């Protein structure tokens, strides 16, 4: 049963997500905030929140500023998530998201994170070693803090897979490039991250499929290419599926990609067919963009989203 499977998420560069709603936001002008909220965030933290809501036992680790952990500790306590974060000197960064709910546009302002020292990194690897005794899946997600070796995801994947555990990776840039050679089980670049990885624009579906196939040929079991409103392509060595979402009002893009990763991991653990994994992952993502609250909605709402996802075999 899925509730017997424990999942760990790793967030090297968490953030306090400060979401500010400004109707008709204009850069360079005086803008008035209609409402605001702050949530514990970062890609791996978001994944943990979604999967905890779905009924899984979750552990979290990564680097967390010792001076402002309270929002994170409250979230982990509320959702019964095991907190294995390594506390480091300084503050966890803030990420500001300005949402124009009239034009459905989001402006991101991301601060850099604190740099962990060598002892912090060693402590993290020790925490991963201990978590691998009980956690069957690991989700490594998000950017890496300034000053951290871009090989860190590759090294973490090697340490985890050496224990026979599965790894889902959601990152970008040089850290993604270096990590894919260690063959994580699952990766989810968006179309722009895939273009950066391949070094070429991908203007047709055939080009996207070809780029994803090269990753599969390298030993990765599943590749998801997210394409915003155009849906997402889910690929394994045996199947190619396009999941197209219905059109819904976009209230927030915060955590949409993280939700998709969460749904896919949940589907893989439940051993669902790829089409059903894609449907579930897309429903998770729809739930993130159609509401401003953190975490998953009730199951009835989630099932309604699932029923509206169109699955096409490519």
Q: What pLDDT, on the 0 to 100 scale, is given for residue 1?
A: 39
The correct answer on CATH 1.10.220.70 for the domain covering 2-313 is no
d(CA 218, CA 220): 6
Neighbours of 180 (CB within 10 A): 21
Kindly state the helix (H) or strand (E) to which residue 93 belongs, with its residue range: strand 93-100
Cβ(255)–Cβ(288) under 8 Å?
yes
Dump the DSSP string for 26-81: -TTS----SEEEEEEESHHHHHHHHHHHTT-EEEEEEEEETTS-HHHHHHHHHTT-
Q: What pLDDT, on the 0 to 100 scale, is given for residue 149?
A: 96
Cβ(252)–Cβ(104) under 8 Å?
no
Q: Tell me the average pLDDT across 142-168.
A: 96
Torsion 98-193-171-284 (CA) sign: positive
Q: What pLDDT, on the 0 to 100 scale, is given for residue 3?
A: 55
Dump the DSSP string for 108-148: EEEPPPPPP-HHHHHHHHHHHHHHTTTEEEEEEES---TTS
pLDDT in tens, 193-245: 999 999 999 999 999 999 999 999 999 999 999 998 899 999 999 999 999 99
Q: What pLDDT, on the 0 to 100 scale, is given for residue 47?
A: 97
Q: Tell me the average pLDDT across 276-284.
A: 97
Predicted confidence band at 293 (pLDDT cuts at 50, 70, 90)?
A: confident
Q: What pLDDT, on the 0 to 100 scale, is given for residue 295?
A: 80
Enumerate the domain spans of the chain.
2-313
pLDDT at residue 39 tops 80: yes
Catalytic residues: 258
Question: Vertex 208, ends 235 and 186: CA angle to 5°?
Answer: 35
Cβ(86)–Cβ(62) under 8 Å?
yes
d(CA 176, CA 154): 8
């Amino acid at each position: 049963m899925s509730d017997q499977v424990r999942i760990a998420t790793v967030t090297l560069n968490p953030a306090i997500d400060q979401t500010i709603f400004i109707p008709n936001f204009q850069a360079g002008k005086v803008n008035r905030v209609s409402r605001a909220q702050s949530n514990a965030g970062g890609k791996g933290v978001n994944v943990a929140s979604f999967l905890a809501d779905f009924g899984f036992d979750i552990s979290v680790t990564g680097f967390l500023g010792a001076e402002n952990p309270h929002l994170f500790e409250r979230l982990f306590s509320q959702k019964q998530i095991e907190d294995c974060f390594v506390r480091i000197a300084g503050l966890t960064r803030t990420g500001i998201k300005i949402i124009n709910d009239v034009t459905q546009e989001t402006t991101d302002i991301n601060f850099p994170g604190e740099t962990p020292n060598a002892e912090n990194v060693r402590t993290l690897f020790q925490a991963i070693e201990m978590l691998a005794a009980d956690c069957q899946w690991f989700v490594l997600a998000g950017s890496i803090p300034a000053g951290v070796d871009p090989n860190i995801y590759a090294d973490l994947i090697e340490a985890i897979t050496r224990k026979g555990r599965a790894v889902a990776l959601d990152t970008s840039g040089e850290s993604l490039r270096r990590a894919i050679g260690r063959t994580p089980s699952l990766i989810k670049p968006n179309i722009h991250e895939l273009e950066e990885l391949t070094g070429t624009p991908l203007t047709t579906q055939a080009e996207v499929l070809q780029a994803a196939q090269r990753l599969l040929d390298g030993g990765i079991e599943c590749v998801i290419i997210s394409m915003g409103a155009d849906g997402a392509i889910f690929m394994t060595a045996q199947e190619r599926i396009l999941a197209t979402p219905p059109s819904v009002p976009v209230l927030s893009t915060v955590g949409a990609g993280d939700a998709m990763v969460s749904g896919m991991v949940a589907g893989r653990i439940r051993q669902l067919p790829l089409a059903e994994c894609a449907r579930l992952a897309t429903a998770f993502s729809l739930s993130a963009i159609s509401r401003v609250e953190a975490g998953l909605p009730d199951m009835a709402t989630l099932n309604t989203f699932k029923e509206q996802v169109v699955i096409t075999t490519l």
